[in-house]
Amino acid sequence: MDEIDRLILDMLQRDGKISQARIAESVGLTTPSVNERIKKLETRGFIRRFTALLDPRQVGMGAVAHVDVQLEHPSFERTFLDEIENLLAVQECHAISGDYGYRLKVRGRDLEQLESILRERIQTIRGVVRTRVELSLSIKKDSTLIPVA
């Protein structure tokens, strides 16, 4: 990956709808060259997918909780991760250090839905022995940008 690839990635993550012609103009290449570079970046895994970034509040999913999860034994890890992968309300799952093994970012309509997700979906996963929940009172920064340029 060279500096031009980094510039292309930066432009795409800031505006996924930017035209390849506009990118080409900015980086000093032809549109077909930019198209080829983007395809290679996708093939090599630098670009996972193109998607629309929704405003959670506008679609009624403004409540956020961070849930730390402790498993009874490492043998439950695969089952836990499979369940979490299929739970759309869980936006992120991080393996963490400390007393808990995982931290989840969970999104719901309101506190009642977050409670339901926690009690009926997360805490019932085989091997989960303890959870700790912290509610987000407000979000001061919410970015998907990764420094690449």
User: Is the per-residue pLDDT at 149 higher than 90?
Assistant: no
**Is domain 63-135 classified as CATH 3.30.70.920?**
yes
May I ask the CATH architecture of the domain 3-43? Answer: Orthogonal Bundle (1.10)
Name the pTM for this structure. 0.87
- Whole-angstrom Cα distance, residue 57 to residue 136? 13
pLDDT at res. 109 = 97
Q: Of the candidates 87, 144, 92, which has an alpha carbon nearest to the alpha carbon of residue 113?
A: 87
Stretch 65-82: mean pLDDT, rounded?
Answer: 97
If you write DSSP's letter for every residue of 84-142 in order, what string do you get?
HHT-TTEEEEEE-SSS-SEEEEEEESSHHHHHHIIIIIITTSTTEEEEEEEE-S--S--
Give 41-64 pLDDT, tens digit per residue: 999 999 999 999 999 999 999 999
Give 7-29 pLDDT, tens digit per residue: 999 999 999 999 999 999 999 99
Q: Of the candidates 54, 64, 58, 55, which has an alpha carbon nearest to the alpha carbon of residue 138?
A: 64
Structural domain spans, the chain? 3-43, 63-135
